Structure 1
Amino acid sequence: MPHIQANGQRLFYTDTGGDKPVLLFSHGLHMDHEMFAPQIDALADRYRCVAWDERGHGQTGPATARFSYYDSADDAAALLDALDIPSAVWVGMSQGGYLSLRAALTHPERIAALVLIDTQARPEPAERIDTHQKTLAMWREHGFTDAMADNTAQRILGEDFADTAYWQDKWRGFTADNVYYLYDTLDTRDDISDRLGEIDIPALVIHGTDDRAITLERARDMADRLPRSTFVTIEGAGHAANLTHAEAVNPHIEAFLAGL
């Protein structure tokens, strides 16, 4: 399986290859590169699709030290360097959007456009941070229980998603020490909403109307602050709209890419 060494990390990635415009896919918390399978299946005939597992996730493996989403942005840029890709359209879901927005501030030359799915520019609300601390304490004491698996699935995947059990099995492999670092990164991220005006590139903002993790209001605020954004909602979709409602999300992505 392909990995690169960058910034003290051994990062896993997939690459469909070819001499085509490049899409870089960055997943959300608790997820991995596989969450973009519906988009890669739909787009790989016209685009080179690169997807990766971020620190603490998938085949990149557990996080072992504190890091920030700026570090993750540097990881993604290093992956493009290793693959000799000057720039790409960055597609980010939730925390994948957090790192993509920060990359747009720190590595603007590497980003041709942004597709931001169920994400935001503001910091984590205080009540969510408290919930994360309680969840981590339970994880340390009891492990990842079935109740936690169900709550996590409802928050990310919504109700009645066919592949919920598959993702829950993945989450059972997370250790409490790894989750500590992931939550630390999530909960201590900075507010970049006032800097979004600096990101003068085309951006597509996609948000599920039933997202329980990030409000529609926060997504709309982000879209309003981005100078060249298009905002679309996906009716009935939760936090992972691209995975659970791909048939509604994919046409918006395809139309956006075609117009670049």
Structure 2
Amino acid sequence: MPIAELNHQGIYFEDSGGSGPALILGHGFLMDGRMFDAQVRALAPEFRVIRWDARGFGRTRWDGKPFNLYDSAADCIALLDHLGIQRAVVGGMSQGGYCALRVALRYPERVRALVLMSTRGTVDDEQTRAGYRQVRDLWATPGAAENIIQSMAGGIIGDERFYSPWLDRWRQVPKNHFVAAMNNLIDRDDIRPRLNEIRCPAIVVHGLADTGIPPSEGEYLHTALPGSKRYVSVPGAAHAANMTHPESVNPALVEFLRAHA
């Protein structure tokens, strides 16, 4: 397996290779890099697509210590260093988008452009955070876990045709992994006052049926980023719009990358 030993973690990644402009993608909560299969098929080999598994999920070997989104941003940059890539388009879905925005804030010289899917630049309100804490504390509890998994599948994926194999993967996530990854999201900092510092080109993609992050947050992100070039709304798509509706997402990504990668 392609594992890079970076920042005391064993970061799992997949690299389509080639000489095209580089795009590095970070996945959403509970997901892993396999959620970008449709993007790799559409974008490679014209573009070099790198996808990686964040701490706590997928096939990355996590050291078990608490982490935050700036640790994830550092993992992203360390992976680019490992691959010898000085500048790349940095992208992500949901949690991966939170990470991408912080990469742009902390390492602006490394970012050619941003691909932001189903994500936001604001923090959750206290009622939402309280709900996430309840889910966190119930994870892996007999009688509750399966209900949580089914509920999250509806919110994240939406279309039952895409549930397999994700639900089986989620059932294998240990509680300490889930707790640390959820804390990473609940406790994230509010970067809304700093969004105007991010000047690179960006594209924002959002499903119109997204209940995890309302479409209004995608619209706000598009207007708040000075370099945002396009807002792509995806009718009928829940949170993982890139996975369930690639026919609506991929052409916009190709057009954007050809102009800005």
In structure 2, the partner of 1:223 is: 222
Give distance in 2, aligned partners of 1:107 and 1:137: 34
- Taking the aligned partners of 1:140 and 1:246, their CA distance within structure 2 comes to 32
Number of paired residues?
259
TM-score normalised to structure 2 length = 0.96
Q: 1:58 to 1:130 in 2, by over 3 A?
A: same
Name 1:245's counterpart in structure 2: 245
What residue in structure 1 maps to residue 211 of structure 2? 212
Say whether 1:195 aligns with 2:194: yes
Displacement of 1:19 in angstroms is 1.4
Asked whether the equivalents of residues 162 and 244 of structure 2 are also in contact (C-alpha less than 8 Å), the reply is no
Partners of 1:138 and 1:45 in 2: how far apart? 43
Alignment of 1:51-200 (within 5 A): 51-62=51-62, 64-142=64-142, 145-160=145-160, 162-200=161-199
Aligned partners of 1:63 and 1:178 also within 8 Å: no
Offset of residue 101 of structure 1: 0.2
The percentage of aligned residue pairs carrying the same residue is 39
- For the pair 1:44 / 2:44, whether they are aligned, the reply is yes
The alignment partner of 1:58 has SS state of coil
- Residue 63 of structure 1 deviates from its aligned partner by 5.8
What is the Cα-based RMSD across aligned positions, in Å?
1.3
Equivalent-residue separation in structure 1 for 2:74 and 2:143 (angstroms): 32
Structure 2 alignment gaps of length 5 or more: none
Give the match's secondary structure for 1:232: strand
Q: Give distance in 2, aligned partners of 1:215 and 1:117.
A: 12
Structure 1 unaligned runs (5+)?
none
Distance verdict in 2 for CA 1:155–1:216, change over 3 Å: same
Q: Give me the whole-angstrom Cα distance separating, in 1, the residues matched to 2:112 and 2:158.
A: 31
Q: Kindly report which structure 2 residues correspond to 1:14-29, keeping only aligned pairs within 5 A, or say none.
A: 14-29=14-29
Identify the range of structure 1 (212-221 vs 202-211) with the bigger mean alpha-carbon deviation.
212-221
Give the Å deviation of 1:125.
Answer: 2.2
Paired amino acid for 1:219: G
Instruction: State the distance in 1 between where 2:144 and 2:2 align.
Output: 29
Shift of 1:137: 2.4
Looking at structure 1, the residues matched to 63 and 82 of structure 2 have their Cα atoms a distance apart, in angstroms, of 21
Q: Deviations over 1:131-176 (max 9, x none)?
A: 122112222432763322210100100133x230310011011111
